[in-house]
Structure 1
Amino acid sequence: MDATTLRHLSRQLVRQLGMLDNQCGCMELTPVQAHTLIELEDTPVTVNEMALRLRVDKSNASRHLAVLLNQGLVASTPNPEDKRSQLFQLTQNGKDKLEALHQQLNNQVDTFLEQMDLDEIVQLEQSIKRYTKAIRAASNQQGYTIRPLTPLDNASVAAVVRRVSGEYGLTADKGYGVADPTLDSMSEVYQGDGSSYWVVEHNNRILGGGGIAPLAGEDSICELQKMYFLPELRGHGLARKLAVKALTFAREQGYKGCYLETTANLTEAIALYESLGFVRISNAMGNTGHDACEVRMLKTF
C-alpha cells in the first residue's frame, strides 16, 4: 500500500465515522469538544497540557475549554503549582455527558466489530497500534538522516560498533562482530551486489547504522548485519526505520528471506526483530563467523 491509497482509506474512514460533522454522535458536542472531555476523564489539566494532548495550538484548546465551561460540563480552579494558570476538570454534568457519549459510541463500534471475525479484530488492533506508533516516531525523527555509508564514514561507524559492543560486553575475544578484520573499512565490504549499509546522522555525527549482505553459504538469503546504535539515538524509532529500509532493499534484490544473529544481552534488539516478523530458529544458517551469537532469527519474504 502506498501513501495515496492509505490517505484515501483514511479519508473514507473519517467520513464514515462522522468525524466531519458538527457534532459527535447524537450529542451536542463537536468532535474536538468530545476529545477534550475524554482527556479530562482521569485528571485535571491546564490549557497548555490540553493543547499538547489534542495536538492543537493553545488558543484552540482554550476556546473549546471556554465553551465547555459555559455549558457547565467543565469547571476550573487555580493551579496550585502555578497560580498564573487554571486547572480544568469535569463537573458531574460533564461526567454524565461523557458516560452517555461513551455508551453511544461503544454501541456504534460494536455494530462494526460484529462484521469481523476474531482474528480480523486482533489484526486490526495490532495494525492501528503499529500505525499510531509510526506516526509518533516520525514526529520524533526530525533532524535525523538515514543515508548510505561512504568511505568518509568508516572511522565513525567503527567507533560506534566498538562503543556499543563495549557497553554490552561483546568483546573481540569472544568472537562478536567487533572482531571482524574489515571493521575499519566497511564501505568496501558493502559495495558488492545485494549489499548495502546505511548510517544514521544527526548534526553531522554518525550515531548508528545497519546493513544487508548475502548470507555466505546460503542461496537467496541475506543477513541483517552490524545494527549498532549509540544510547543517545535510542528511543526515536530509528532502529526500526533503518531495519525496514534494509528489509525493503532485501526484497528488491530478490532475496527470499533475511537471517540475523544476536545475543540474549541485546533484549531491546530482539524485541525489535520480533516486532518485524523475525522468528527464532534453533540452528545457525550460513557461515557468519560469529559463533558467540546464540540467538538466531529468520524472516521469510
Structure 2
Amino acid sequence: MTDDNRPTNHQGSELRTVSRHIVRQLGMLNSACGDLPLSPVQAHALIEISHGAISIKKLAQILNIDKSNASRAVSHLVEKRFAHTKSNPRDSRSLLAHLTPQGRKLLQKLDHQQNIIFNEILSQLSPSETQQIETAMTLYHKAIHRSRLQQEYQLRVITPEDNAPMAEVIRTVSAEYGLTSDKGYSVADPTLDILSQQYQARDACYWVIEKDGELLGGGGIAPLVITTKVKPTAIPDRVCELQKMYFSQALRGKGFAKRLAYLALDFARELGFSSCYLETTAELSEAVKLYESIGFKHLDSHLGDTGHDACEMPMLLKL
C-alpha cells in the first residue's frame, strides 16, 4: 500500500522501465541532438524561443528545469548566435530571449532531423497502433501534469481532528451549488460532523486532502446501506457506495477528484466489492462528467432509499 492506501502495482514499474528506455533510445541522454550543435536541453529551449520572446523564468517553467539550467541553455544559444537577449520592458531585472535568423535555420534542420527519426519509428506501426500510442501518450502527459500540480498537497485518511473542517468544506460547497440542508443531500446527514467515526469499519474509508494544514476536500467509500426493503435482484452482490466527494474551489482543476475516485475504487476492488453505486444531482455538473468519464452508468431508478432523495441521478459502476 502507498501512504494514501492505494495498492502499488506492477504496471507502474513497467511504465517506468518503458519511459526510461524511450528516453535513452531517443538520444535524450546524449550531449548533442544527432549531428546538430545542440544539446537536448538547448534544442527544447530553441523550440520554445521560436514561439516568441520568452524570459528565463518562463522558459524554466515550461521545460521543467531549474532557472540556472535554463539560463545556461540560453547563454549557449546566444554564444552560438542562435538567439539573442534584450531587456524585458515589463521587468528591467530580467531578459527576454529572441530567435535569430541563424537560429531559425537551425530549427528547420532540427525539425527535418526529427521528422526523419519519427517517420522511421512510425513506419513500424499501423495507423491504428499510432493512434493508440498518441491517445495513451496524451493521457500520460496529462497525468504527469496533474501530478506536478498536486505535489504540495497531502492525500491521507481522515482523522477525528479533520471532522470539523471537512464538515465545513461540505457545507460551503453545498451552499455554493444551492444544495440546502432542508432537502435530501449529504449536507443534511446527521453524521456530517463525525465523519471519521462513520468510516471506521474495515470495508470503509474516507480520505481528505490538505495543503499547509488547511483541509480542502475529501471523499469516501463504504458498503451501500439502504433504509427500505427492495427486491433481492435490485441490488448487485457486494455493492459499495462512493460518498461525500466535496472539493473547495482552491482544490479544483488539479485532478484530485479523479485521483481520489480511483483510489476509492481500487480500495473497493481489493475488498471484493463487485459494483460501486452513487447518487448525485445535475446541479453538480462537473461531478456528473467525472463519474461518466470513469465509467459510471446512469440507472433508471435508485437502489432503494439511502436518505438522499434529492439526488435524482443514481449511477453504477461494475468493478
Task: Normalising by structure 1, report the TM-score.
Answer: 0.89
Segment drifting more, 278-287 vs 58-67: 278-287
Tell me by how many angstroms 1:37 deviates.
0.7
Corresponding residue number in structure 2 for 1:262: 280
2-structure distance, mates of 1:157, 1:83: 45
Tell me by how many angstroms 1:194 deviates.
2.0
Corresponding residue number in structure 2 for 1:290: 308
- What letter is aligned with 2:29? L
| Closer, same or farther: CA 298–109 of 1 in aligned 2, 3 Å | farther
- What letter is aligned with 1:248? D
Native 8 Å contact 2:56 2:67 kept in 1: yes
- What letter is aligned with 2:300? N
Counterpart check, 1:232 vs 2:250: yes
Segment drifting more, 101-110 vs 280-289: 280-289
Tell me by how many angstroms 1:269 deviates.
2.1
| Closer, same or farther: CA 212–105 of 1 in aligned 2, 3 Å | same
| Closer, same or farther: CA 49–265 of 1 in aligned 2, 3 Å | same
Native 8 Å contact 1:214 1:221 kept in 2: yes
SS at match of 2:215: strand
- What letter is aligned with 2:271? Q
Tell me by how many angstroms 1:143 deviates.
4.1
Unaligned runs of 5+ in 2: 1-9, 226-234
2-structure distance, mates of 1:280, 1:119: 28
| Closer, same or farther: CA 248–7 of 1 in aligned 2, 3 Å | same
Corresponding residue number in structure 1 for 2:98: 89
Native 8 Å contact 1:44 1:89 kept in 2: yes
Query: What count of residue pairs does the alignment treat as equivalent?
Result: 300
SS at match of 2:171: helix
Corresponding residue number in structure 1 for 2:32: 23
- Choose which of 40, 44, 48 in structure 1 pairs with 2:49: 40
Tell me by how many angstroms 1:50 deviates.
1.9
- Higher RCO, 1 or 2 (CA under 8 Å, sep at least 6)? 2
2-structure distance, mates of 1:228, 1:126: 30
Counterpart check, 1:215 vs 2:224: yes
Native 8 Å contact 2:236 2:274 kept in 1: no
Corresponding residue number in structure 1 for 2:123: 114
SS at match of 2:38: coil
Tell me by how many angstroms 1:283 deviates.
1.8
1:208-261 deviation per Cα after TM superposition (whole angstroms, max 9, x unaligned): 110111224432222111001112222333223222221110111112232222
Unaligned runs of 5+ in 1: none
1-structure distance, mates of 2:143, 2:71: 29
SS at match of 1:173: coil
Native 8 Å contact 2:220 2:245 kept in 1: yes
Corresponding residue number in structure 2 for 1:130: 139
1-structure distance, mates of 2:29, 2:124: 24
2-structure distance, mates of 1:62, 1:205: 36
SS at match of 1:101: helix
1:173-227 deviation per Cα after TM superposition (whole angstroms, max 9, x unaligned): 3322222232233233322342111122333332211011122443222211100
2-structure distance, mates of 1:113, 1:284: 48
1-structure distance, mates of 2:198, 2:47: 54
| Closer, same or farther: CA 8–286 of 1 in aligned 2, 3 Å | same
Tell me by how many angstroms 1:42 deviates.
1.1
1-structure distance, mates of 2:29, 2:206: 45
| Closer, same or farther: CA 58–196 of 1 in aligned 2, 3 Å | closer
| Closer, same or farther: CA 116–258 of 1 in aligned 2, 3 Å | farther
Identity, % of aligned pairs?
49
Native 8 Å contact 1:280 1:295 kept in 2: no
Counterpart check, 1:156 vs 2:174: no
- Choose which of 169, 173, 183 in structure 1 pairs with 2:182: 173
- Choose which of 7, 25, 29 in structure 1 pairs with 2:16: 7
Task: Normalising by structure 2, report the TM-score.
Answer: 0.84
